[in-house]
């Protein structure tokens, strides 16, 4: 879980810097290390939405909900 947190933190920073493609890569890595964190799927969904991948974003949000997260689509 420690590695997941490192990648999640990097992804958040990259998102703030508008580096969405690399943020997506880091969210993918965070999920590889901790696939049970619904917030990771939620956050990755937001990045996918910004990149125009509506279907991928919806799938991530559905997964986040299945893991117990409340999802607020923007």
Angle between helices 38-50 and 54-66 (to 10 degrees): 170
Contact 3, 35 (CB under 8 A): no
> Mean pLDDT for each consecutive 10-residue tract of the chain (74 residues)?
93 97 98 96 97 98 92 61
pTM beyond cutoff 0.85: yes
């Amino acid at each position: 879980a420690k590695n997941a947190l490192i990648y999640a933190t990097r992804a958040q920073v990259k998102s703030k810097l508008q580096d969405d493609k690399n943020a997506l890569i880091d969210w993918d890595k965070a999920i590889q290390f901790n696939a049970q964190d619904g917030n990771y799927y939620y956050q990755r969904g937001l990045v996918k939405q910004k990149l125009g991948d509506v279907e991928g974003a919806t799938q991530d949000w559905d997964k986040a909900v299945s893991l117990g997260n409340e999802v607020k689509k923007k």
